[in-house]
Amino acid sequence: MTSEAPYANLNPNIVLKAVEGVGFHCDGRILALNSYENRVYQLGMDDGTFVVVKFYRPQRWSDEGIIEEHQFTDELVEHDLPIVAPIEVQGTTLHKDSGFRFAVFPRRGGRWPELGTKEELILMGRFLARIHAVGATGDFEHRQNISIERMGEKASIYVLDSDWMPDHLFVSYEAITSHLIDRITDAFIQAGEFRQIRIHGDCHPGNVLWTDSGPHFVDLDDCVTGPAIQDLWLFLSGNRESRSRQLQDLLEGYSQFYNFDYRELYLIEALRTLRMINYTAWIARRWIDPAFPRAFPWFSENKYWEEHVLALKEQAAILEESPLEMA
């Protein structure tokens, strides 16, 4: 196995052998789930149930970092939060087989959250606040922080140093990312000394399974230290008026369980911009993995890069606007 093709040797036989090696009895049913950063499979058990196994991307996290993720999920579960946490087997949640690290999770059903009503947004806000209340009680030692340097500066430099950027866009991309990083830095300064806590980090609707009784949160693979607003802004959509109304509803529920620092509103568009820059660098870094060309075939087209640079320029204008206000 090489860093250039991290999952080249991972096949169904290895998946089944690894899971059975820690005590599960598989019936041979295996379904690859929609995952790119890691490899995730649903496996059928002899008793008719299912588990989900995640094979962590080699060389991305240290063992200590993965264990911290698992410990955080366990803390949240202990506080009666609906988090899908890994199953402890043989005294640990992190296992190794054939050069891969993996964890086994219970399967949870659910649907994409529409969050179309005030009541649903208030409920989501309550759950996010409870996650943050637990997150604020401790610190990560082996996981990343939300960082302008990592997500903005280094990400944009990686793209510029790669062969992806079309020649006719190189100067424009370099100029707009430099300008955006300055504006992002200004926004962080305006927000002041906001508190940084343990957060989900990638809490978008795709990582929430909605049921009749409320949400289940999955995939804390990107849990980091950062501002609380990072776990809130990804649920905002539509025009400015709609986003303000959604944020107000989220915070109505949120404030019932945890105090929100309204200075963090300065960070919403700054964090969105960092995500846009970092997302492109993420795909570029992972392109050697065959799953990425299959999932993102448009990435190699000039049209994508033209639209990306245009979107960054539009984001620069948005960063000049005042923060969202409550409707």
- Banded pLDDT at 2 (limits 50, 70, 90): very low
Q: Is the pLDDT of residue 1 over 50?
A: no
Contact 229, 265 (CB under 8 A): yes
Evaluate whether 247 touches 324 at the Cβ level (below 8 Å): yes
Regarding whether 261 and 199 lie in a shared domain, the answer is yes
Of 106, 131, 163, which closes a domain?
106
Q: Are residues 312 and 202 in the same domain?
A: yes
Q: Is residue 4 scored above 70 in pLDDT?
A: no
pLDDT of residue 286: 96
Average pLDDT (282-297) is 95
SS3 track for 94-121: CEEECCEEEEEEECCCCECCCCCCHHHH
Query: How far, in Å, CA of 95 to CA of 174, rounded?
Result: 42
Predicted confidence at residue 300, as pLDDT, reads 95
The tally of domains found in the chain comes to: 2
pLDDT in tens, 239-251: 999 999 999 999 9
Same domain, 92 and 66: yes
Structure tokens at 287: 């392109």
Q: Is residue 2 part of a domain?
A: no
Which of 84, 106, 128 represents a domain boundary (last residue)? Answer: 106
Q: Do 31 and 150 have their domain in common?
A: no
Task: Report pLDDT for 212.
Answer: 85
Active-site residue, from 47, 161, 202, 212: 202
Q: What is the pLDDT of residues 42-56, one digit of tens each?
A: 999 999 999 999 999
The enclosing domain of 181 has a CATH number of 1.10.510.10
- Tell me the average pLDDT across 102-109: 95
Candidate list 97, 186, 219, 221, residue with the active-site label = 219
Q: Which two tokens stand for residue 181?
A: 């990083």
Residue 119's pLDDT is: 94
Q: Are residues 212 and 171 in the same domain?
A: yes
Domain for residue 326, yes or no?
no
Name the residue among 35, 57, 150 with its Cα closest to residue 102.
57
> Is residue 126 located within the same domain as residue 235?
yes
Angstrom distance (rounded) from CA 251 to CA 245: 10
What does residue 210 show for φ and ψ, rounded to 5 degrees? -95, 135
Q: What is the DSSP annotation of 291-324? A: HHHHH-GGGGSHHHHHHHHHHHHHHHHHHTSPPP
Q: What is the pLDDT of residue 114?
A: 85
The sign of the dihedral angle between the CA atoms of 25, 29, 34, 35 is positive
Residue 325 confidence (pLDDT): 86
Do 102 and 126 reside in the same domain of the chain? no
CATH number of the domain enclosing 56: 3.30.200.70
For the entire predicted model, the pTM comes to: 0.95
Q: What is the structure's pLDDT at 327?
A: 59
Q: Do 310 and 240 reside in the same domain of the chain? A: yes
**Residue 277 in this model has a pLDDT that exceeds 50:** yes
Domain extent, residue 54, equals: 12-106
Number of Cβ atoms within 10 Å of the Cβ of 249:
23
Residue 202 a catalytic site member: yes
Considering the domain architecture, whether residues 256 and 294 belong to the same structural domain is answered as yes
For residue 325, is it within any domain?
Answer: no
Give tens-digit pLDDT for 153-186.
999 999 999 999 999 999 999 999 999 999 999 9
Token pair of 263 as six digits? 């200075």
Same domain membership, residue 159 and residue 90: no
Sign of the alpha-carbon dihedral angle for 63, 60, 11, 45: positive
